[in-house]
Structure 1
């Protein structure tokens, strides 16, 4: 159980790191240069990181929940992580991802800088949910380690 919770916590922290990278390195510049986030124009492919990290995290989080179900304190932390991650993923699926894909596929010169800036500003609002997810998993890891 401890190893699975540790891997889930590490993946959650990697997700926070990916978000911080986008906020600090990519988002300040791509609204003026949409080609930076357009793989067809030689830009980065955010899907390569985000799909892999989310799939791995979600599979490991479910495995951690199954393995820790008999430990109420650990289970509660994992359920908090699942809930906060779930809210962020649903919000992303219906709002952020479709708009990000539209920016990535837009023809050169057609992306509104104002719309891109609004997207990047709102995207930062997902960080608190990621921090709750990571914090809950780190606390679950502490609690799991205490029971070993």
Structure 2
């Protein structure tokens, strides 16, 4: 019983953090991304750490805390086979999107910031920012789908624990 309670708590924390991240991602995607992608490179100033809306620290902290919670949830759900297998799949998907983020999204944002600061702009900048924006829609949708996929697992744990 105590094991299930810990599993519930950590999966609940993971879900809450995921939905908090989803809200921040949707806000950023709906409000900030269109501002800097509409008129590159002029609006890249919004990305600059010194005079923009730098969310770098927020995202580093948020993803780190969330991933620790996700791993703890996976550890505490390990003995609950019907939950463990789905959580493992969702965790692998989540990590795949994180790798994609670190391999594509983060380096491109850094390049866009550097372009703004150095005033040296790459060829095809408009198409690069449009691609970044379009793929970001896909990425955010995947994150939302993963977090929604955790809800039935939390429901299973609650039912198993008599809630």
Could you say which residue in structure 2 is the equivalent of 1:65?
74
Q: Deviations over 1:27-70 (max 9, x none)?
A: 11112211111112x10112122111110111011101111111
Which residue, out of 113, 124, 132, partners 1:104? 113
**Quick one: distance in 2 between partners of 1:101 and 1:123?**
15
Q: Deviations over 1:90-116 (max 9, x none)?
A: 111111111011112223554534422
Could you say which residue in structure 2 is the equivalent of 1:119?
132
Which residue, out of 54, 79, 85, partners 1:45? 54
Gaps of 5+ in 1: none
Is 2:22 the partner of 1:22? no
C-alpha contact (below 8 Å) 2:44/2:116 kept by paired residues = no
Q: CA shift at 1:126, angstroms?
A: 0.6
Could you say which residue in structure 1 is the equivalent of 2:141?
128
Could you say which residue in structure 2 is the equivalent of 1:12?
18
C-alpha contact (below 8 Å) 2:15/2:151 kept by paired residues = yes
> Secondary structure of 2:67's partner?
helix
> Secondary structure of 1:136's partner?
helix
Give the alignment's Cα RMSD to 1 decimal.
Answer: 1.6
Gaps of 5+ in 2: 1-6
**Quick one: distance in 2 between partners of 1:53 and 1:98?**
18
Larger Rg: 2
- Between the two proteins, the alignment pairs up a number of residues equal to 147
**Quick one: distance in 2 between partners of 1:79 and 1:135?**
15
Could you say which residue in structure 1 is the equivalent of 2:90?
81
